[in-house]
Amino acid sequence: MKNKLYLIILSSILFVGWGKTGHKIINQKSIESFPNEIFFLTAWSNVLIEHASDADNRKSSDPTESPKHYIDIDEYSEFVSTGKIIEDYDSLVAKYGEEKIIDRGLLPWAIISTCETLKAAFENKDWDKAMLLAADLGHYVADAHMPLHITTNYNGQLTNQSGVHSRYESTMIGNYSSQIIYSGIQSEYISDIPNYVFDFIYYNYRFVDSVLIADKESKAIASGSYNSTYYENLWKKTKGFTTKLFSNASYRLSGLIYTCWVNAGSPTIVGIEEEFKELNSFELFQNYPNPFNPSTTIKYSVPSNVKREMSNVKIIVCDILGNEVATLVDENKPAGYFEIKFNVEQTSSLSSGIYFYTLKVGSFSETKKMILMK
């Protein structure tokens, strides 16, 4: 038993979910799915990114941390036969004993517990703690969307594919992270968090074999080597569902944060640490969805530290040649967060392609790219 625990802790330190890059992407992109009611929490963006791997960093000093990052769900006979396990922790302990459950991993209950703690932080208006808990929650949710974190065969050791874990989640993601492109859609309130968490873990398990098959086929194409040919083919075979897993993780994280906030009574942001008390600069956010057809949402902020009460805000859309094709905003705005929906059906006919939207306020100007696909 002690040897097994040692191996579990060691492997948990070595295998870090989607790697630091993946965890940052998932936490960062969750912002795009924040409902309007918590749009003020977009100020947390840097914190969610910077602390996306705090949970991994605790493994070496906290012996209780490692089991929170995985669940060997196929170790449970009822999962093999029905596709589900006993979800109530106390009931599962009564059947198997706590030692065996910890051995098999605590990932779903770590997510549920972190949600409860985040709700409490919101209730207490402890914004500093809530920010860090949201980052941790993002880490656990991301782990639950990494197929090899929810299976006994987490490193291909049972199928003669040792090392597949890091090949897929770290090396491949590191090489191709720039191609993991997705946009957020507005998340919704979750009526039953435990059921929601277990459902997406059950769903994500279907991709375990997909990863293992892709690894085996890519190795064969690369003549048994783990070279650039191998990784090129591994990405080609897994890009579709990997991007979807990333997208789902960001969306579900957003929904969980929003639900915790609602369940806490929808507290206002009075008392947050100084750098998040005020909007300190104009900011233009990436539109979503992107690519889009026929409409997309653009959000932006006007700072509260401008000397005048109102600022003249202008947002224009230009084609790739720099020709202005639409004016979305041209009016005075007070400090705050705003959004505008751009619907190409309500403007002059635009063809598929790359467009640029620009926020202009006085001497400030910021531009972002969006793609229309008809």
Give pLDDT tens digits for 7-60. Answer: 444 444 445 556 789 999 999 999 999 998 898 888 888 899 999 999 999 998
Task: Give the pLDDT band (50/70/90) at residue 279.
Answer: low
Q: Which of residues 46 and 237 earns the better pLDDT score?
A: 237
Q: Is the pLDDT of residue 304 over 50?
A: yes
Q: Is the pLDDT of residue 273 over 50?
A: no
Q: Is the pLDDT of residue 372 over 60?
A: yes
98-149: per-residue pLDDT in tens?
Answer: 999 999 999 999 999 999 999 999 999 999 899 999 999 999 999 999 999 9
Name 12's Cβ contacts closer than 8 Å, sequence gap at least 6: 59, 65, 66, 67, 69, 70
Q: What is the pLDDT of residue 208?
A: 99
Q: Is the pLDDT of residue 277 over 80?
A: no
Which one of 237-251, 265-279, 303-317 scores highest in mean pLDDT? Answer: 237-251
Q: Is the pLDDT of residue 363 over 60?
A: yes
Task: Enumerate the β-bridge partners of residue 122.
Answer: none
Q: What is the pLDDT of residue 11?
A: 47
196-236: per-residue pLDDT in tens?
Answer: 999 999 999 999 999 999 999 999 999 999 999 999 999 99
Q: What is the pLDDT of residue 283?
A: 84
Q: Answer for the pair 311, 364: CB distance below 8 angstroms, yes or no.
A: no
Q: If you average pLDDT over residues 267-285, what whole number do you get?
A: 62
318-354: per-residue pLDDT in tens?
Answer: 998 889 999 999 998 887 778 888 999 877 678 999 9
Domains, in order of start, for the chain: 2-263 (1.10.575.10), 278-372 (2.60.40.1930)
Name 249's Cβ contacts closer than 8 Å, sequence gap at least 6: 26, 138, 141, 142, 144, 145
Task: Give the pLDDT band (50/70/90) at residue 303.
Answer: confident
Q: Is the pLDDT of residue 263 over 90?
A: yes
